[in-house]
Amino acid sequence: MTDTLTKLAYQTFQQGKSYFGVAHKALSTQLEQLAVGKRDNEIFPLSPDVVERIYNSLNQIIETDWNDAETGIYPVETLFDNSWGDFFQYYPLVWLDLPKIWDRVRNKQYQSFDSQIDLNDYPKYYRQNFHHQTNGYLSDLSANLYDVQVDILFNGAADAMRRRILAPLKQGLSHFAEVPPSQIRVLDVATGTGRTLRFLRSMLPKAALFGTDLSPAYLRKANQLLSQLPGELPQLCQANAEDLPYGNEQFHGVSCVFTFHELPGPARQNVIDQCYRVLKPGGTFVICDSIQKDDDPHLNPLLHNFQTTFHEPYHRSYSEDDMTARLERSGFVEIATQLHFMSKYWVAHKPA
């Protein structure tokens, strides 16, 4: 009975986030049309069948999320890990930031940064207003708003999508059964605000966790959020994922979430090569990112609309990229893929 009530509470919790996301997007879209003008000629209308497929897949990922918790992949409490304090503090700022976003959209400003932000230490492809965000990923405001914005984008399912890396990673770590839990080392590449590291900590309470990101602002946010957790604080490091600051064969598992669609092709390969280099033989690498073209042809109009609406200069290239071939080029074997809601996953292994 308790499990049934907990599951119902989780489903209600997720449905509430989903309805909120839909309501926010509907209202902001109407206001954007007033501020920027309609772009109907660039947007494909979604048929009722496609909308139904989207909501069916949303319900499926919520069910999968619950099942993984119920079977012990991670604690059930993880399902309710939501930073309500951040939400209520920063959601009003999402609205206050929208006029700036609409202004950049109207004026086609895609590389606009405040003068005090030094761009010299960042690769050219990173100097973008991804999602039309103010100052891209290089300000504390961006870091504070990111999780709220992404959860709205995915109708409240962003964390459920992130958590889909946990089961294959835990299965991969079982190959190191002789290693004490406190000596297991897991790296999250491009960790952002540390949401994935939070979920890794809930699954691996004794493991040594590491995270890298290129943005010092996002690392400050990650340190703030992760310091709230019990146990050892994950070790965070500012680094370009194309040049990870670790020796060869240091980690039993590596994850990378929502990153590859924001990289040009050569950088994608470099990051995969680096993840292979730092992974121990027999280790597991799990990627979570956007679905790709023709994973579900019915959803291609949705991908088109995403690429049209948001500033994602490398998403079209990513959506047609053969990521499995890239993983094989680096040396990975036993590569499997999964689809959950709007995300795609690659689970790859370094030969033992």
Q: pLDDT for 208-238, tens place per residue?
A: 999 999 999 999 999 999 999 988 999 999 9
| pLDDT score of 259 more than 90 | yes
Q: What is the distance between the alpha carbons of residues 250 and 4, in angstroms, rounded to a whole number?
A: 42
Residue 261 is predicted with a pLDDT of: 97
Residue 83 is predicted with a pLDDT of: 78
| pLDDT score of 98 more than 60 | yes
Q: What is the pLDDT of residues 113-150, one digit of tens each?
A: 999 999 999 999 999 999 999 999 999 999 999 999 99
| pLDDT score of 43 more than 90 | no
- Which of 80-89, 157-166, 304-313 has the highest mean predicted lDDT (pLDDT)? 157-166
Mean pLDDT throughout 151-157?
Answer: 94
Q: What is the distance between the alpha carbons of residues 349 and 352, in angstroms, rounded to a whole number?
A: 8
Residue 136 is predicted with a pLDDT of: 96
| pLDDT score of 1 more than 60 | no
Q: State if pTM tops 0.85.
A: yes
| pLDDT score of 40 more than 60 | no
Mean pLDDT throughout 290-311?
Answer: 90
Residue 38 is predicted with a pLDDT of: 65
Sheet with 343-349, strands from edge to edge, namely 235-238, 208-213, 185-189, 251-257, 279-290, 343-349, 333-340
Hey, is 211 helix, strand or coil?
A: strand
Domains of the chain (ranges, CATH numbers): 1-352 (3.40.50.150)
For residue 153, name the pLDDT band (cuts at 50, 70, 90): very high
Mean pLDDT throughout 269-284?
Answer: 98
| pLDDT score of 41 more than 70 | no
3-state helix, strand, coil in the chain (%, to 5): 55, 15, 30
| pLDDT score of 277 more than 70 | yes
Q: What is the distance between the alpha carbons of residues 298 and 296, in angstroms, rounded to a whole number?
A: 5
Q: Tokens 């069910």 sit at which residue?
A: 63
Residue 39 is predicted with a pLDDT of: 62
Instruction: Assess contact for 150 and 133: CB atoms under 8 A.
Output: no
Residue 30 is predicted with a pLDDT of: 86
| pLDDT score of 303 more than 70 | yes
Residue 37 is predicted with a pLDDT of: 74
Residue 94 is predicted with a pLDDT of: 95
Backbone angles phi, psi at 262, to 5 degrees: -105, 15
Mean pLDDT throughout 184-191?
Answer: 98
Instruction: Assess contact for 307 and 42: CB atoms under 8 A.
Output: no
Mean pLDDT throughout 248-255?
Answer: 98
Q: Which residues contact 169 (CB under 8 A, 6 or more apart)?
A: 186, 200, 203, 253, 255, 284, 286
For residue 2, name the pLDDT band (cuts at 50, 70, 90): low
